[in-house]
Structure 1
Amino acid sequence: MENYVLRSLVVVSGLWFLSAPALGQQKLHTIPIHNFSELQQHFHYDASKPVIISGHRGGMLPGYPENSIEAMEQTLTYLPSFFEIDPQMTKDSVIILMHDKTLDRTTNLRGAVSDYTYAELRDARLKDRQGNLTEFKIPTLVEALEWGKDKTIFNLDNKRVPWEKYVQLFQDSDYHNIVLSVRSMEEALFYYDRLDQVMLCVAIMNQAELDAFIATDIPFNRIMAYVGYTMDPQYEAVYDYLRKKGVMCFISIHPTADKKKTDIERVKAYSEELIRKPDIIETDFPAMFVNKK
């Protein structure tokens, strides 16, 4: 964790974005994963490892929309990161990346995603975080997965995609860089029983949830643990148990620290979270964390 600093601590707030390298013109900081064992090792807890940064909704930068391949690639020009993305299905069952049920907030179209065929969405244009229309298009999940091979890891936050669709996609596939976020132990067991080459992101925020996970008999080397918005001292025993089993503790700060109004306020909030020593931080602003090396 000592290897990471907050970029905004060493520049005038916000101005570093103006010198962002053009897409494709700077070397990417990649996380090449060639097999499932390497994925497991990447997420195996080790106190000497620096904190891992995850880009929420694919990471976001000015001019680069959420859940876009372009935003993820741009983020990798700053640091190695893995990405939480939001798959959901079109009217004709094509899986695309889109967070909301509707297209209104993030595209130049209106209405429910499920009311459009993929062909009808091909020419849609994505909006960036500030609501500005860009030239970037809605990617399919497969397009993102193909781009991400040997570059990064994906944490799929399922938005109404039937579980069986993931099994069809990942069973006997050559995608070794997949984490599936689950919302229940039932869902965790469904994937564990059918998929040998994916990890699971399981909510374990207290002793009751830890006990429920233990009861599934899913091996600890198949999961990372989502522990909430912060590392809460009252659950230190849960974190200690997970780490002794090799499990990393994962926090998401997009609804808390990321919501601060200024970069300076965000940096202060990020620093407070780093002091609590999470193993993984999911953030809307991954490029504000850089590696000293």
Structure 2
Amino acid sequence: MKHFLLACILISFFSCNTTRKDSKLIEVFKASNTQLPHVSVHRGGKGLAFYPENCLETIQYVNDSISAIYEIDVAQTKDSVLVLMHDNAIDRTSTGTGLVKNLTYESLKSFNLVDDYGNKTAYKIPLFKDVLSWCKANNVVLTIDVKGSVSQEVVINAIRAVKAEDVCILITYDVQQAKSAYNLAPDLLLSVSARNETEFNNLLDANIPTKNMLAFTGTRLSNVTLYEKLHSQNIVCMLGTLGNLDQQAKTKNDTSYKIWQDLGVDIFATDRPFAVYNSIN
């Protein structure tokens, strides 16, 4: 009997110590929170002269001017180092060439990042852990796009290694990815694909708690009833204006962003962060 009680105590002790607290973002990112940042900066910043995408210095530059969150892309090198890179190859965004998965981090260090206009910069391909550490120290929120060269678990472990759970949102693109991410990290906020009511209902059927959801509603305007349904669950709605909608807004002197906000959009994932910020503020 004594051994049984001791076993119960030990199980209880270890259970309590392995239970993780929810990321603070789960409480902050609520549709009812009027103090949310309304801008998500695509690839950490695009179209900026001498400031490349997926670059820590670019995030720092944008962050000095506006309140925003930052979408970044995480890939894995041949020697299993996590870096920021959107494409499978480094040719477009750096002075080097080749696939990320075929290159070691040591070889990546010899190349420089280039901006969207082909200008070589002094900046290097950043380590994911360095970006996490800076964002944690400066309370800057990241939405993390896990590229095909790396598993969700590896990225989650990297987040945990620097205790950056309170500044990280994990991006998922379908129900299976959302289920996998939730099972691996039920304490993290997830960006989930909810472009219509069917997709949202599928997420609910997967038993993913709504508190863990930030709804990415796609790159086209959805029916207002979708925004209303998501808001009734206190879920934040993010619209991807990058591409066509950004260009449409540009032709209308950026007045479209405020109109879309009034329809129910909480956050704009955009290539034009300064324009969006100025328009809705």
Normalised-by-shorter TM-score class: 0.7 to 0.9
1:250 aligns with 2:238: yes
For the residues of structure 2 that align with 1:36 and 1:74, how far apart are their CA atoms?
Answer: 30
For the residues of structure 2 that align with 1:103 and 1:195, how far apart are their CA atoms?
Answer: 30
Distance 1:73 1:153, change over 3 A: same
Match for residue 163 of structure 1?
152
C-alpha RMSD of matched pairs (Å): 2.4
For the residues of structure 1 that align with 2:231 and 2:258, how far apart are their CA atoms?
Answer: 22
Structure 1: tracts of 5 or more residues without a match: 1-34
Q: Do 1:59 and 1:72's aligned partners in 2 also have CA atoms closer than 8 Å?
A: yes
Instruction: Map residues 193-204 of structure 1 onto 2, 5 A cutoff.
Output: 193-204=183-194
Amino acid across the alignment from 2:65: Y
Match for residue 174 of structure 1?
163
Amino acid across the alignment from 1:58: G
For the residues of structure 2 that align with 1:225 and 1:247, how far apart are their CA atoms?
Answer: 7
TM-score when normalising by structure 1: 0.80
Structure 2: tracts of 5 or more residues without a match: 1-20
1:212 to 158, 182, 202: 202
For the residues of structure 1 that align with 2:128 and 2:51, how far apart are their CA atoms?
Answer: 18
More helix by share: 2
Higher RCO (CA 8 Å, separation ≥ 6 residues) = 1
Match for residue 131 of structure 1?
118
For the residues of structure 2 that align with 1:274 and 1:240, how far apart are their CA atoms?
Answer: 12
Please state whether the residue corresponding to 1:86 is helix, strand or coil.
strand
Identity %: 27
Match for residue 53 of structure 1?
39
Instruction: Map residues 56-135 of structure 1 onto 2, 5 A cutoff.
Output: 56-60=42-46, 61-135=48-122
Q: Do 1:257 and 1:270's aligned partners in 2 also have CA atoms closer than 8 Å?
A: no
Superposed displacement of residue 123, structure 1: 2.1
1:225 aligns with 2:215: yes
Distance 1:127 1:173, change over 3 A: closer
Match for residue 14 of structure 2?
none
Match for residue 140 of structure 2?
152
For the residues of structure 2 that align with 1:50 and 1:196, how far apart are their CA atoms?
Answer: 22
Superposed displacement of residue 291, structure 1: 8.5
Amino acid across the alignment from 2:32: D
For the residues of structure 2 that align with 1:227 and 1:201, how far apart are their CA atoms?
Answer: 10
Q: Do 1:122 and 1:138's aligned partners in 2 also have CA atoms closer than 8 Å?
A: yes
Please state whether the residue corresponding to 1:188 is helix, strand or coil.
helix
Alignment length, in residue pairs?
256
Superposed displacement of residue 53, structure 1: 0.4
